[in-house]
Amino acid sequence: MSEAKAIYGVQPVLEALKSGSRLLRVYLARAEGDQTRKIRAMAMAANIPVIGAPKEELDRRAGTSKHQGVVGILDVNQVETTDVGAILERARELGEDPLLLLLDGLQDPQNFGAILRSAHALGVHGVVIPKNRAVQVTPAVLRASAGAALHVPIAVVTNLRHALDELRKADVWTAAAVMEGQPVWEARIDGPLALVMGGEGAGVRPTLADDCDLQLSVPLGRGFDSLNVSVATGILLYEAVRQRST
Instruction: Collect all residues with Cβ–Cβ distance below 8 Å to 85 and sequence separation of at least 6.
Output: 166
Reported pTM: 0.79
Q: Which residues pair with 174 in a beta bridge?
A: 194
| Residue 13 φ/ψ, nearest 5 degrees | -70, -40
The alpha carbon of 99 is separated from its chain's Cα centroid by a whole number of angstroms, namely 14
Query: What residue ranges in 158-230 does DSSP mark as E strands?
Result: 173-183, 193-198, 214-217
Identify the pLDDT of residue 36. 87
Query: In terms of Cα–Cα distance, which of 83, 202, 70 is closest to 139?
Result: 70
The CATH H-level (homologous superfamily) assignment of domain 4-78 is: Ribosomal protein L30/S12 (3.30.1330.30)
- Give residue-wise pLDDT tens across range 127-145: 999 999 888 887 778 778 8
As a whole number of angstroms, the distance between CA 147 and CA 120 comes to 10
Identify the pLDDT of residue 1. 41
What is the domain partition of the chain in residue ranges?
4-78, 81-245
Assess contact for 98 and 175: CB atoms under 8 A.
no
Assess contact for 137 and 159: CB atoms under 8 A.
no
Identify the pLDDT of residue 80. 64
Cα→Cα distances 173→76, 101, 169, 184, Å: 33, 12, 10, 14
Query: In terms of Cα–Cα distance, which of 18, 167, 147, 30 is closest to 88?
Result: 167
Assess contact for 9 and 70: CB atoms under 8 A.
yes
Pairing of strands 173-183, 193-198: parallel
Query: In terms of Cα–Cα distance, which of 155, 12, 136 is closest to 71?
Result: 12
Three-state DSSP state, 203: strand
Alpha-carbon Rg for the chain, nearest whole angstrom, is: 19
Identify the pLDDT of residue 208. 96
Q: In which order are the strands placed within the sheet that holds 173-183?
A: 81-82, 154-157, 126-130, 99-104, 193-198, 173-183, 214-217
As a whole number of angstroms, the distance between CA 18 and CA 14 comes to 6
- Across the chain, which has 246 residues, the per-10-residue mean pLDDT values are 73 85 86 85 92 92 89 73 93 97 94 94 96 85 80 93 96 95 94 95 92 93 77 96 92
Pairing of strands 4-8, 99-104: unpaired
| Residue 82 φ/ψ, nearest 5 degrees | -135, -160
Three-state DSSP state, 142: helix
What is 81-245's CATH number?
A: 3.40.1280.10
Q: Which residues pair with 173 in a beta bridge?
A: 193
